[in-house]
Amino acid sequence: MMSPNNKPAFAPDLDIDKVLIYAIDHVHGKLSVQTPTETAPGSGHHYFAFHLNGRPAYVINELSDTITAFDYDAEAGTLATIQTISTLPDGLPK
């Protein structure tokens, strides 16, 4: 997923419970690995998206039945976890 400002790209990795971050060199057409954002072990995130206003980002965690919200720092190209909440209705067993 490209960031709203087309600087870094983000890729959720289900197996390692991290959102991988890549800086983009538009001149040379290359990606360079940045420090990833970690999530709870075993969460198994799969889909990643930005809010329409470009500031918060979200990842759906398939294995833990949760969604994690991040604050996107466009200048630094980083994500900071805001919160993780359940996607299941209250009282529904996992």
Instruction: Count structural domains, the chain.
Output: 1
Is position 65 within any domain?
yes
Asked whether residue 1 is assigned to any structural domain, the reply reads no
Residue 3 lies in a domain: no
Residue by residue, pLDDT tens for the chain (94 residues) are 999 998 899 999 988 999 999 999 999 999 999 999 998 999 988 899 999 998 899 999 999 999 999 999 999 999 999 999 999 988 776 6
Q: Specify if 92 maps to a domain.
A: no
Q: Is residue 55 part of a domain?
A: yes
In a domain, 23, yes or no: yes
pTM assigned to the model: 0.87
pLDDT computed for residue 46 by the predictor: 83
Provide DSSP, 29-52. TEEEE-PPEE--TT--EEEEEE-T
The residue length of the chain stands at: 94
Answer whether residue 29 is part of any domain. yes
Residue 89 and residue 82 in contact, taking contact as beta carbons nearer than 8 Å: no
Segment holding 8, helix H or strand E: strand 8-13
Give 79's contacts (C-beta < 8 A, 6+ positions apart): 10, 19, 21, 37, 57, 70, 71, 72, 73
